[in-house]
Chains A and B, each alone.
Chain A
Amino acid sequence: MKLFKKGLLLVAIPGLFELGLLGVLYKSQENATQAEVWALHTKDVIIQAAEVREPVLLQSARLRAAIILNDPSGLEKKDLWESIEKEVNELRDFVVDNPSQLRATEQIRASVKEYHTWTDQQTELLKNGRRDELVAALRDPKALSLIQVIQRQLADFIKVEEALDDVRQQRVIEARKLQNIALWIALIGSVLAAAIAAKIFSKDVGGRLAVLTDNARQLSEGGALASAVGGNDEITDLDRVLHETHGRLKQAEENARAYREQLEGHARELALVNDDLQRQTQDNEMFIYSVSHDLRSPLVNLQGFSKELHHSIREMHDTIAESNLNDKDKQRIHDLIEDDVEVSLKFIRTAVSRSASIIDSMLRLSRVGRVEYQSQHADVNTIVGRVIDAMSSTIRQREALVLAQPLPPCYGDPTAIEQIFGNLVGNAVNYLDPKRPGTVEIGVLPSDPGQPNFRTYYVKDNGLGIPADYLGKMFSAFNRLHADVAQGEGVGLALIKRIVMRHGGKIWVESTEGVGTTFYTSLPVTPTDSPASQLAQGEQTHG
């Protein structure tokens, strides 16, 4: 049942009750009116009875007057008799529904008729002058009694009617009393019915609404819902919706949990892969280290013995000069040694030097990943000052201006940080444009609120700049852009990138060819727990 219907019932039940009581009230009202009508009717009957008596008494008086005056002429008139007849008829009409009173009326009529007959006899006597006889007859108690009979009958009639009137009056009072009672019952009953209906309605709807509210609260707090409320109205619908929502929410939570678990699984896998990668990187560095190391040994021989050959050649020159060969042969041997052997040896030595240099770079590179850092709060001002001092002769030679802004400290290994700035400042000075006065500026960016634990330093120059195509390869090992400008194997940036990463920081470059280059490096301000910096703990010593 819908709430509207319930509300309608709430109004209709007391309404019906009131309607019933209104009927009762109407009925009692009707009864009272009826009773009043009957009471009035009785009064009319009593009055009519009196109407009957009046002409009878008048006729009696007329008779007496005629007798006294001895004039029968007045008695000739029939009007009073007709009047009596009319009044009796009217009386009969009034009491036609009451058999006993009807009988009494007929008796009255009979008595009146008897009195009429007697009066006619008296009239005859008077006409005939038999007045004495008449007087005598008048004295006859019987004559008097006729009037008295009529009188008595009328009195009785009235008495009966008065009794009836009393009864009917009583009925009217009772009807009125009943009417009042009905009115009160209607009033109290309707109020009670309304109260009971409201009570039932509020108990039903209110109780279920309370359950509904509780369910809604549980839903918002994520608790368990009470079982479904009964009925089939809007509250039930709403409750069903709440239950469905609860079910969906549970499902969503379940899904979220599953996703989270999946995510955690992925994270674990990722961590494993990461560990594996780190181990592999370590292995690679170890491999590079041992290969480089093992390569060094034969290089020592190559370089050493080529030098030995160089010594031997000098001795050979001396020996040939002192020999007794002719000058032409001497010259030929000399040319052979100088042009072929010496040139070949020179190439060998150059190649060995280059190989040795590459191996050294590889060793340094691999060592960066393995060396143990002594991290501390490092005074970058001092470090950069030291870097600039160490390069002072190169700076003078290039006629460059190197400016260091005040630099806040960072947290890291001072030697490693010196390597970073040494490399960056060294590059900046080495790759200045000879065509214009060189300037190198070392500074720090305003701290980034998103990265409060890091500080970004920069080394900015107005040097040769880097072509856009080359920017992506800047930090790869053994890549050299300006091979003719400065010496090196092209591992410097790869090296310091590794150092910066092991500190948990970042390094990047912005450059415009022909305008200048700015290297940025972010370094931690406080100790970080980055996996890269833990790498050193797994380091092994190569024997």
Chain B
Amino acid sequence: MADSEEVGILLVEDDDGHALLVEKNLRRAGLSNGFLRLKDGQEALDYFFNSDGAPSKPGFDSIVVLLDVNMPRVSGVDVLKRLKESDVTANIPIIMLTTTDDPREIERCYDYGCNLYITKPVEYEAFIEAVRRLGFFLQIIKVPTAGRGGA
């Protein structure tokens, strides 16, 4: 689905409902980017790295990762850590999505290098607002990516 011309959205979320809601609302907000959903952290790691641990692709331009924090097997924070450790994947924008608004965890994620941390709101209106902010964020980062692609 991911198009090199467009920003691809990679959602790593174990909860099907959440995943569907995020996708629906992104689309409703007018974000028609390529969308791929992975079920947990392990799948995310498999997507980015080979079995020997090397990056599966030489570069991951035009991709944004939405990472749920609480997932079975490999948690979102572990995925974040792995991605930021590798030079090839370190520049991928990562947005943490979680139900937790614990300031310590937020701080921890920022320490590991996440670009944005969004608390999943229960209020639907607030959730849409968060997704809009997310979309706005994606719109912004799309410009330098495109600029780089054109260079």
Contacts and interface: CB of A to CB of B under 8 A. Distances in A.
Contacts of B104: 541
B100 interface: yes
Nearest to B75: A543
B146 to A, nearest CB: 32
Contacts of A363: 101
B24 interface: yes
A304 interface: yes
Interface in A506-543: 541-543
A300 B69 contact: no
A542 B122 contact: no
A353 interface: yes
Interface stretch (A74-82, A241-249, A291-299, A330-338): A291-299
B127 A297 contact: no
Interface residues of A, number: 21
A300 B18 contact: yes
A542 B105 CA distance: 8
Interface in B1-38: 15, 17-18, 21, 24
Contacts of A353: 122-123
A434 B122 CA distance: 34
Interface-centre pick from A297, A305, A356, A371 (highest chain B CB count, 10 A): A297
Contacts of A300: 15, 17-18, 21, 99, 120-122, 127
Interface-centre pick from A304, A307, A367 (highest chain B CB count, 10 A): A304
A303 B25 CA distance: 13
Given A300-B17, A301-B17, A541 B108 contact: yes
Nearest to B100: A293
A352 B69 contact: no
B17 A304 contact: yes
Interface string B115-144: 000001111100100000000000000000
A299 B21 contact: no
A543 B18 contact: no
Contact of A308 (B21, B69, B105): B21
A452 B17 CA distance: 58
Interface string A299-315: 11101111110000000
A541 B102 contact: yes
A368 to B, nearest CB: 13
A542 B102 contact: yes
A541 B105 contact: yes
A308 B24 contact: yes
Nearest to B77: A543
A543 B99 contact: no
B70 interface: yes
A216 B127 CA distance: 88
Interface string A347-369: 00000110010000001000100
Interface in A258-317: 293, 296-297, 299-301, 303-308
Sorted nearest first, the 3 A-B pairs with minimum C-beta distance are A301-B17, A304-B21, A307-B124
